[in-house]
Structure 1
Amino acid sequence: MPVLTAPLLDEARENLRVIRQVMERSTKYSTLSGLSGVLIGLTAIAGVLATRHVRDIYAHPLRLALIWLVVLALAVAIDFARNKRRAAQVGKRVVSPLGAHILIAALPAFFAGAVLTAFFALHHLLFYVWGVWMLCYGLAICAVGLFSVRPVSYLGAAFVLAGAVTLFLSVPYHLYMMALTFGGFHIAYGLWTARRDGW
């Protein structure tokens, strides 16, 4: 039986390290953009301000829907564009089999949010929608976190906790919680990501 010398052991350790890195790159989604988080947070704050500007917003569900569909469209566009650029910088593709798995994992929470929003609109309970959006978005982010770096799961958990708290607050505070979470949490996470990985 051959004796493993120090050089052979060092070579084996290096090979294992390289294999581990390759496996992590294939199973972890790590093209998140710091600037994307900041811009999405600012977009959400703009949505909150627009919502507050509309008088008696809960009596006009179509106006509320229009505001937040615009916010959603802008957020998705920003996220895709910035992550695509980030993916190119690190030699990855933003559209990949892993990306498809992430989307499938997040879809149930988004679907639940859409159904509950429609239910609240039909029953004139839209003032509860903010906490439910936080909960559903947080659950979606937790699902994404299974395929990404650990802090993504922490972000999702923060949204879930904030959503649960919001539902038990007085209604006038719900929009402030939207600004704190969809605005502040995204900005804070974006700044943290930028500090760690760059913009």
Structure 2
Amino acid sequence: MDSKNYHEDLSHIRSMMERSSRFISLSGLSGVFAGLAAIIGAVYVYFVFQREGIDYFDGERNIYGPALVKELVIIGTLILITAVSCGYLFTAHKSKKKGLKMWDATTKRLLITFMVPLVTGGFVCIALLYHHLFALIAPATLIFYGLALVSAERYTLTDIKYLGYCQIVLGLVSLFMLGWGLVAWAIGFGVLHIVYGLIMHKKYK
């Protein structure tokens, strides 16, 4: 009897430590909706290229006009806003349901760790855009996003690092297949997010 209580106490202490040191309220459904938004955005961008007579898949250094660049930035921003909004809403709901605080010291550490490689990657992508190296932007976003996920793993669910590794590998491969960067982007931010989200939703619901 004492041994059973001892193990229960250890399990309770371990759970308390996990909650205090890791942000465990990430919702798998947020990944699903972020993935759907990314796929819709990628398909829309493909048709935008078709409309402009640009064969993105030839891997050449196509020169995009200011109007097209502005439209692509707007599309990317809308996808980001949609993904972040879904992430916040589903995560807030899960936190409330489990009676956990969403904003605390752990959340702040998570955001800082996550944002450092992400912001760095953002500046790299801006530089690529400035130098008209458009075919490298999709691989760069995948690589730096993957690095951000791996870095953030220490403050949230450990499973997230596997999504990060997949993003990094996909980004590196797409560096050698520049004409297929948009497809790689759709797979990384779309399909992988949906698969990861469904697995996490089933595992931690």
- State the TM-score, normalizing by the size of structure 1: 0.90
1:183 Cα deviation after fit: 0.3
Fraction of identical pairs, as percent: 28
Which of 144, 156, 164 is matched with 2:172 structurally? 164
- State the TM-score, normalizing by the size of structure 2: 0.88
* Native 8 Å contact 2:27 2:94 kept in 1: yes
User: For each residue in 1:36-59, what CA deviation from the matched residue of structure 2 results, as whole angstroms up to 9, or x when unmatched?
Assistant: 111100000011012112124860
1:96 Cα deviation after fit: 1.7
Q: Find the aligned partners of 1:35 and 1:14 in 2 and give their Cα distance.
A: 31
- The residue number in structure 1 matching 2:23 is 29
Q: Which moved more, 1:67-76 or 1:92-101?
A: 92-101
Which of 116, 122, 146 is matched with 2:124 structurally? 116
The amino acid across from 2:184 in the alignment is: M
Q: Find the aligned partners of 2:9 and 2:203 in 1 and give their Cα distance.
A: 26
1:79 matched to 2:87: yes
Any stretches of 5+ residues in structure 2 without a counterpart?
57-62
The amino acid across from 2:82 in the alignment is: L
1:10 Cα deviation after fit: 3.7
* Pairing 1:88-167 to 2, within 5 Å after superposition: 88-167=96-175
- The residue number in structure 1 matching 2:59 is none
Which of 149, 173, 184 is matched with 1:177 structurally? 184
User: Alignment length, in residue pairs?
Assistant: 191
The amino acid across from 2:41 in the alignment is: G
Any stretches of 5+ residues in structure 1 without a counterpart?
1-6
1:66 matched to 2:66: no
User: For each residue in 1:85-120, what CA deviation from the matched residue of structure 2 results, as whole angstroms up to 9, or x when unmatched?
Assistant: 011111112222111100000111111111111111
Q: Find the aligned partners of 2:28 and 2:172 in 1 and give their Cα distance.
A: 27
* Native 8 Å contact 2:110 2:156 kept in 1: no
Residues 197 and 8 of structure 1, relative CA distance in 2, 3 Å threshold? closer
1:17 Cα deviation after fit: 2.1
Question: SS at 2:101's partner residue?
Answer: coil
- The residue number in structure 2 matching 1:188 is 195
1:39 matched to 2:30: no
1:18 matched to 2:12: yes
